[in-house]
Amino acid sequence: MNSTERYINENKKVLNQKYQHTYYFGIPKKAYPCTISGIVKKYIKCTVKGIYNYISEVVKHPREYLEISKYRNIKLNKSSLIIASGPSQGYLSVDYLNRIQQRGCETYVINYWSENHALKLHIPNYLVLSDPKTFNNEVDRNKEKNLRLISYLKDNPKIIILCPLKMKKIIIDNGLKNTIQCFVNSELCSLNFINPMLPRGYLSLTAYKALAWSIFQNYKIIGVIGLDNTYLKNIFCDKKNKLYINEIHAGYDDYLVDVSTQYHDFESFLSEYRMIFNNIKYFVGHNVVNLDQFSILDTFPKVKLSKFIDEI
């Protein structure tokens, strides 16, 4: 099979999968023009919107906001492992996670961990919720997943839930008794804040929020895995010029997502993707190590799983 045949077969195989819509209800995102006026317009809009949302968020949830400060620098003698959803998560095993936990390493998982076929038997210390689909039953396909997530958390009340300020009430209303810790979720992209008491300067990735919280608590070493950012390898375009992402996550079946309603065009997708790599630089200098030896994320030192368990 030559390169052209491989190219055709790969695209047909991926695009013939059943796909899901993103259920993005805003105007499709456009890349700002790479001009001085375009950049200025972007940052003015981002700053005004970010400050407004931040003030509104704090005013609506003052008690929860003030509680955040008590978690600063309380983990100086502990380690943490943040498990994002990328394919490299497959390097892990339940046995490995349980062993590092027994040694005092606290594990952070994200969103629908209860759906992870391979690793959900590991009970994490923290579950970070940030995906807007979580507990949103307006979309039918989310209802069963949300019910399973609620049941999972009720069965494991020692799991600490980390979530945006406004989500705390929703969690309590679902009858959950888990400890809940909160962070500010407003975005102010014109600055590089990672402090969870301030509007974040990075894009809304749940794994980044887990990383910001770990840094805020000041763990002596923070491991990350599954933070693969492999979307560039998994973006496809059909004959109608609709964009799709082939979602590949360890512990889950692959599925295709129609993102044509979210991004105006491929340039818009790349513009946001560039920011993902730009934003990760804000977390440098805080004892973060990457446990994926083949990650295209070249921001943090890479450490083998066997070495990480010796260092915690």
Domain boundaries, the chain: 18-311
Reported as a single tens digit per residue, the pLDDT across 148-160 is: 999 999 999 999 9
CB within 8 Å of 82: residues ≥ 6 apart: 108, 207, 210, 211, 214, 222, 223, 224, 225, 227
Higher pLDDT, 64 or 268: 64
pLDDT at position 163: 97
79-83 and 243-247: which strand pairing? Answer: unpaired
In this prediction, residue 220 has a pLDDT band, given cuts at 50, 70 and 90, of very high
- Residue tagged 């895995």 (tokens): 225
Residue 24 has pLDDT above 50, yes or no: no
Reported as a single tens digit per residue, the pLDDT across 237-270 is: 888 898 888 877 665 677 888 888 888 888 888 8
Provide the token pair at 149.
């997530």
Distance CA 280, CA 214 (A): 14
User: Average pLDDT, stretch 39-64?
Assistant: 91
Using a cut of 0.95, tell me whether the model's pTM lies above it.
no
User: Average pLDDT, stretch 295-311?
Assistant: 92
User: Average pLDDT, stretch 45-70?
Assistant: 95
User: Average pLDDT, stretch 132-156?
Assistant: 82
Strand partners, 44: none
Residue 9 has pLDDT above 50, yes or no: yes
CB within 8 Å of 113: residues ≥ 6 apart: 119, 120, 124, 127, 152
The DSSP letter of residue 241 is: -
Q: Please answer whether residues 65 and 92 qualify as being in contact, where contact means their C-beta atoms are separated by less than 8 angstroms.
A: no
Rounded to the nearest integer, the mean pLDDT of the chain is 88
Reported as a single tens digit per residue, the pLDDT across 179-215 is: 999 999 999 988 899 999 999 999 999 999 999 999 9
Among 217, 170, 219, 212, smallest CA distance to 187 is for: 212
pLDDT at position 141: 66
In this prediction, residue 21 has a pLDDT band, given cuts at 50, 70 and 90, of low
Q: Report percent pLDDT > 90 for the chain.
A: 56
pLDDT at position 140: 60
